[in-house]
Amino acid sequence: MPNEVTRGELTQPSYAAALDARDPLAACRDEFVGAESRLVYFDGNSLGRPLRATAGRLAAFVEEEWGGRLIRGWDERWYDLPLTLGDEVGRVCLGAAPGQTTLGDSTTVLLYKLVRAAVDAAESTSGSRRTEVVLDTDNFPTDRYVVEGIAEERGLTVRWIDVDRTAGVNLDQVREVVGEQTALVLLSHVAYRSGHLADARAVTAAVHDAGALVLWDLCHSVGAVPVELDAWGVDLAVGCTYKYLNGGPGSPAFAYVAQRHQDRLMQPIRGWMGHADPFLMGPAYQPAAGMRRFISGTPAVVGMLAMQDMLALIDRAGMAAVRDKSRRLTSYAVDLADARLADLGVTVASPRDPAQRGGHVTLQHERMREVTAELWRRDVIPDYRDPGGLRIGLSPLSTSFEEVRRGLEAVREVLLSPR
Amino acid sequence: MPNEVTRGELTQPSYAAALDARDPLAACRDEFVGAESRLVYFDGNSLGRPLRATAGRLAAFVEEEWGGRLIRGWDERWYDLPLTLGDEVGRVCLGAAPGQTTLGDSTTVLLYKLVRAAVDAAESTSGSRRTEVVLDTDNFPTDRYVVEGIAEERGLTVRWIDVDRTAGVNLDQVREVVGEQTALVLLSHVAYRSGHLADARAVTAAVHDAGALVLWDLCHSVGAVPVELDAWGVDLAVGCTYKYLNGGPGSPAFAYVAQRHQDRLMQPIRGWMGHADPFLMGPAYQPAAGMRRFISGTPAVVGMLAMQDMLALIDRAGMAAVRDKSRRLTSYAVDLADARLADLGVTVASPRDPAQRGGHVTLQHERMREVTAELWRRDVIPDYRDPGGLRIGLSPLSTSFEEVRRGLEAVREVLLSPR
């Protein structure tokens, strides 16, 4: 809590209003659908709000581009869209030079493709003993399931980093487990439960010291936390676009493959859209050069439309300013939790140091499952994550400080109300 | 050509107008974007036109369902949408009882998942010698690439049925190649080049006689040709929704798995959305019962919206009436090709018997590549398929007989114009 503020002041509407008044990005919030409603939305880290521009963009696409250009749209724009829009995600959010990012498939499918590409390349290296994949016990379920499935089918070993649920993977843990048998390390940049922000640059270097590759899952960081894939020397990354990139439910995920690896890695799902010459329709699969080989089937063009509005807004605001607001929002949530919920037994299950925290904060209490249900009835919408975690996702451009104050106050009211 | 009609009559606008006047489905065409334009669209089998209702449906989804319900939309509708909308595709187009069809991923990814599920199950059968996958040399590139890739990684053998490009796979060829080593037969119901319509019921029975499974690729038949998966006893099927189902560029594909196989087959891309209890986020992957286990990641909800308008229209028209119009359209195109293009050296590279033909007709001529380019300049939009194939796709509900006449007349004009 800021030293100069008393607990009483902090929880006043006037205090939140002052924070909003000082927020250089406050006006962005009006660009989202529903900004005017009283709803408190703490789930922009799970499904971002649509921008007001998006409905018109989709309708115009149907009438003009799809309806007007029809099949010609493929030659004119859509065929390259996974790569051109991937480059845009790379430029605005990932610190990735062009030619290394593509959009398409779900995060799960992209994880499968990149993990397979990495371990298959290790396997085909003559005399390689790199038969281990490292990940942490609190990684997102899909990441764990995908790796376990691949380990079973390829006869690999999964090495687990055991992490506390209120923290995340630290550098020492990584150094301890990686070695000459490690093929790949798969970690989340921001932990989906605790919000812990990994030191991706240092971890990447540690993995490289062991001669292994790293794959970062950026689902909970992209669009909220600055990412510098090229500068950090990252090998592979995936992330989703329906959270802080506001692409809409089920919008396609992105994959990043550092240029130096592209031509030596092969993903296993060979489709015509990843072929060197798709319309040759020739007898044998010949992977395209560069990033295109990581595409399999026909790209989900309609699903890629909405995120363009959010990318433009983030580009305008700048990722540094977005992160700055994100830190202030989560710090305010932590301060309010200390001031108004600690006496009711609520603990903060996220790092207290904002430098080690992504865009969400998890509050722990044994009653949080029922609390979440009651909050939803009161139009306060957080997420519940077992066991006992109330996850407060604070999408920086669509969330106000006043919203945070009202939401945390509602948690207090529900905890105080008769069961 | 109908006996009572002379070649001269056939090509008159009045003849086409009479066919349109007698068409019980003619009014459906007005429901599509661009119906009023002079454009001749022969590519509805590659990317169907949007319905006029679709722009509004997408805009309303953004404003009301996504923007209004936000994350609550998952509980309320989206989580089950791949299965509920899959059932709708199954009911309207596939002859599939509920609980056997799901939407999601691209056709390529679904092919990978189902082929892997089938061959992995064969492999795990103790003492099984079923190590062969059968497909035909003129199957769509993705089908061939996926199977070859899986064969390489799993040490299987691909057995090719060699087919003539103007025909398709026949029953005798299938009987000849399947046997006690066959794990799976993957064929296209309608061949993407020739438009040949396979006898799916008889071929399925022949595959079963050999103790193998069949996987039908329905991309070029669904929505144009009646399909009866349950009645034919089909094991597995995939198909895409942006052709005759007008789901928009890159809309998600569907997969069908006959109920009897669901609990013994495992697809390899294990994601949280295919877990028995996704929000448990537990330590190990436990596949859901039934069709849900074939889902991997977060379903592409936005991409599933548009097809709902076309499904409703097909349901209203009835698949039998759609097929009836489709046959009349392709027969008229063949008649016009005979009357107006045969003297210029154009041949029909599709079956002449409408019972053996899907919804498109391919015309062969060595100059067709340049002819296609010139047709596009004249707002006549067919597809070109190497070598020398002009593919005329006649989406039954959005194509008029007059459009067919003008388009074929334009082919003649281009072939007669100085090079």
pLDDT tens for residues A1-11? 555 677 789 88
Closest by CA to B305, choosing from B95, B105, B81, is: B81
Q: CB-based contact (8 Å) between A69 and chain B?
A: no
The alpha-helical segments, DSSP class H, found in A249-290 are: 259-262
Does B3 score more than 60 pLDDT? no
Is B243 labeled as catalytic in the residue annotation? yes
Summarize pLDDT for B69-123 with one digit per residue, the tens: 999 999 999 999 999 999 999 999 999 999 999 999 999 999 999 999 999 999 8
Does B1 score more than 70 pLDDT? no
Residue with structure tokens 């103007």? B166
The single-letter code of the amino acid at B172 is D
Question: How does residue B5 score in pLDDT terms, banded at 50, 70 and 90?
Answer: confident
Radius of gyration in angstroms for the set of CA atoms belonging to chain A, rounded to a whole number: 22
Cα→Cα distances A226→A231, A349, B306, Å: 12, 23, 35
Closest by CA to A154, choosing from A284, A285, A268, A274, is: A268
Q: Tell me the C-alpha distance between B377 and B29, whole Å.
A: 24
Q: Tell me the C-alpha distance between A60 and A21, whole Å.
A: 35
Total number of residues shown for chain A: 419
Q: Tell me the C-alpha distance between A396 and A390, whole Å.
A: 18
Question: How does residue A31 score in pLDDT terms, banded at 50, 70 and 90?
Answer: very high
A-B contacts at Cβ under 8 angstroms: 274
Q: Which of A87, A105, A199, A217 is catalytic?
A: A217
B107 is in an annotated binding site: yes
Q: In the prediction, which pLDDT does B85 show?
A: 98
Retrieve residue B57's tokens.
């449906």
Distance from CA of A298 to the nearest CA of B (A): 5
Q: Which residues of B touch A248 (CB under 8 A)?
A: 62, 66, 301-302
* Phi, psi (deg, nearest 5) at residue A68: -90, -40
Q: Where are the domains of chain A?
A: 7-52+318-416, 79-312
- Residue A342 carries which DSSP code? G
Using the beta-carbon criterion (under 8 Å), do B297 and A50 form an inter-chain contact? Answer: no
Q: What is the overall mean pLDDT for chain A?
A: 95
Summarize pLDDT for B246-275 with one digit per residue, the tens: 999 999 999 999 999 999 999 999 999 999
A393, closest residue in chain B (CA to CA): B71
Q: Which residues of B touch A107 (CB under 8 A)?
A: 297-298
Using the beta-carbon criterion (under 8 Å), do B59 and A55 form an inter-chain contact? Answer: yes
Give the pLDDT mean for A291-307: 97
Residue with structure tokens 């390489």? B152
Give the pLDDT mean for B40-47: 97
Q: In the prediction, which pLDDT does A184 show?
A: 98
Q: Residues 189 to 208 of A: which have CB under 8 A from any B CB? A: none
Question: How does residue A287 score in pLDDT terms, banded at 50, 70 and 90?
Answer: very high
Give the pLDDT mean for B28-38: 96
Question: How does residue A167 score in pLDDT terms, banded at 50, 70 and 90?
Answer: confident
Strands A254-257 and A380-381, by their bridges, are unpaired
Q: In the prediction, which pLDDT does A386 show?
A: 85
Give the pLDDT mean for B207-226: 98
Q: In the prediction, which pLDDT does B386 show?
A: 85
Q: Tell me the C-alpha distance between A61 and A152, whole Å.
A: 44
Strands B380-381 and B132-136, by their bridges, are unpaired
The single-letter code of the amino acid at A54 is T
Q: What percent of chain A has pLDDT over 70?
A: 99
Give the DSSP H/E element, type plus range, for residue B55.
Answer: helix B52-60
- Residue A139 carries which DSSP code? S
Does B282 score more than 80 pLDDT? no
Is B279 labeled as catalytic in the residue annotation? no
Class of the domain covering A79-312: alpha beta
Distance from CA of A132 to the nearest CA of B (A): 18
The single-letter code of the amino acid at A334 is V
Q: In the prediction, which pLDDT does A14 show?
A: 96
Q: In the prediction, which pLDDT does A165 show?
A: 77
CATH architecture of the domain with residue range B7-52+318-416: Alpha-Beta Complex (3.90)
Q: Which residues of A touch B248 (CB under 8 A)?
A: 62, 66, 301-302
Q: What percent of chain B has pLDDT over 90?
A: 90
Does A387 score more than 90 pLDDT? no
* Phi, psi (deg, nearest 5) at residue B234: -65, 145
Q: In the prediction, which pLDDT does A4 show?
A: 65
Using the beta-carbon criterion (under 8 Å), do B62 and A50 form an inter-chain contact? Answer: yes
The alpha-helical segments, DSSP class H, found in A234-277 are: 259-262
B379 is in an annotated binding site: no
Using the beta-carbon criterion (under 8 Å), do A106 and B145 form an inter-chain contact? Answer: no
Dihedral sign from CA coordinates of A171, A176, A182, A188:
negative
Q: CB-based contact (8 Å) between B280 and chain A?
A: yes
β-bridge partners, B409? none
Q: Which of A15, A79, A192, A242 is catalytic?
A: A242
Q: In the prediction, which pLDDT does A3 show?
A: 57
Summarize pLDDT for B353-385 with one digit per residue, the tens: 999 999 999 999 999 999 999 999 999 999 998
